[in-house]
Chain A
């Protein structure tokens, strides 16, 4: 389940801190300094105070599974591939984000399970999404 494809994405400046961060093995979210809160998904402006968003924050890269689904019918570049885990991960000190999850022990895959970002090698084409591994020590 770790063999996830790169995806061709049209990215804009507000998207780059997150996707570039993943390539360094970090979880980076856009941040509103005025509200001292994350802005998620990333946007050019904070949706609470409507200030332009200038900053970002690097999180610990750990969190827990809010929900997950083993997807058997992927679409696009995910079609005709083995089942993979689509999830929402609630990040420590940050937002709940969509991600993929891998569990070396499939029985450990559960809502509430602790997870840690698992760095992925850069795909041959496109961009890599966020992949987390179930890790009780996280």
Chain B
């Protein structure tokens, strides 16, 4: 690798529960922070930077809840599902600048109870609401257009769910731990055609956290060194009514991230790609450069995404399609699983041998237009 890490991931924690009915959201945040501090071997007084996104009560309430005093660097940016992948960059750059040395990045939500963090309706919501647009419908429009332009099939999309379910079958905490066949995916009822039920991610409670630190702190902790070498983010807009639903911001963020890292897709050992829907993965893989535009359907066939045997082991925790999707912001859990792979702490059946380079991609809001992308590249240092 040609670039020294900007910062290091010292701790990770994924809340084990998927349905939390009897506890407060505040207690879930506290459990997560306790977990990530224990994993890192740090204490709350070591934290001097704090990231979350939309949150209950605002940043001061969250800092107060968690007992964070003396924070020198805050970031509450909400990029939807791209959030937290983006924190790998913003927190790392704050560490590089000396604004902080130990940054806590935490999120939680209980959407099954309606307790998740969401923005007010956007400036052009009326043009969507008037036509019964839904979140699944917007992704379905991207999928349909891709099928038209490139001949992608529902079975191609189903391959992504089959791989996800296979990986989830090794995860004792996964919300949907049962393996599924291609035919079972195809037989599901439609939600918004061409997307059917198993093309969609789960709705789960929970959350997660990671801690980013500078090199000095990282080397003092005696843990495997996982460094951030690149991160880029961008949006795709409606572009004044000239939208293009078959391309995502990953074209830009992938190229930028690989250039920052001095790498190419061929260097990647493991990929954590946000899977809000199966089509999200397919478009992202094309745009990051793992295959040519339009060839995503062919690329994901024949077990390409299975770990460790496939050409690109992907989402070995089961992803949002089968493991969890806390607070509708999957970037956190995608990041955590990439760190597990680089540490050699993934499930033994799914651990990528000598995993040294991982890519993490988050997608926020819609797909193709009014959409957010963030890409990071993480490396294992010896």
Which residues of A approach B to under 8 Å, CB–CB? 4, 7, 9-11, 15, 19, 29, 37-41, 47-48, 66-78, 84, 86-88, 94-100, 110-112, 127-130
Contact = CB atoms under 8 A, between A and B. Distances in A.
B132 A100 contact: yes
11 contacts: A7-B132, A39-B240, A40-B241, A41-B241, A67-B142, A67-B245, A72-B191, A73-B191, A76-B129, A78-B134, A88-B245
Interface in B110-164: 123-124, 126-134, 136-137, 140-142, 144-145, 148
Interface residues of B, number: 32
A86 B136 CA distance: 11
B192 A40 contact: no
6 A-B pairs closest in CB distance:
A95-B241, A40-B241, A129-B130, A78-B132, A69-B140, A111-B148
Given A72-B191, A86-B132, A97-B241, 4 more contacts: A40-B238, A67-B144, A69-B137, A69-B140
A74 B191 CA distance: 9
Contact of B194 (A37, A39, A69, A128): A69
B242 interface: yes
A133 to B, nearest CB: 15
A137 B166 CA distance: 49
A127 B130 contact: yes
B189 interface: yes
Given A15-B126, A47-B240, A71 B141 contact: no
A49 to B, nearest CB: 12
A75 B137 CA distance: 11
A75 B138 CA distance: 13
A56 to B, nearest CB: 14
A76 B243 CA distance: 26
B190 interface: yes
A9 B130 contact: yes
B144 to A, nearest CB: 5
Chain A binding site: helix, strand, loop or mixed by DSSP?
mixed
B193 interface: yes
Given A38-B241, A40-B240, A72-B189, A129 B131 contact: yes
Contacts of B123: 41
A38 B240 contact: yes
A7 B130 contact: yes
Contacts of A96: 241-243
A94 B148 CA distance: 22
Contacts of B148: 67, 110-112
A97 to B, nearest CB: 6
B137 A71 contact: yes
B192 A73 contact: yes
B131 A69 contact: no
Contacts of A72: 189-193
A130 B144 CA distance: 20
A69 B192 contact: yes
Given A41-B238, A67-B141, A9 B134 contact: no
A123 B189 CA distance: 31
A22 B41 CA distance: 63
Nearest to B127: A41
A7 B130 CA distance: 6
A7 B128 CA distance: 11
A46 B305 CA distance: 44
Given A73-B192, A86-B141, A111-B145, A37 B130 contact: no
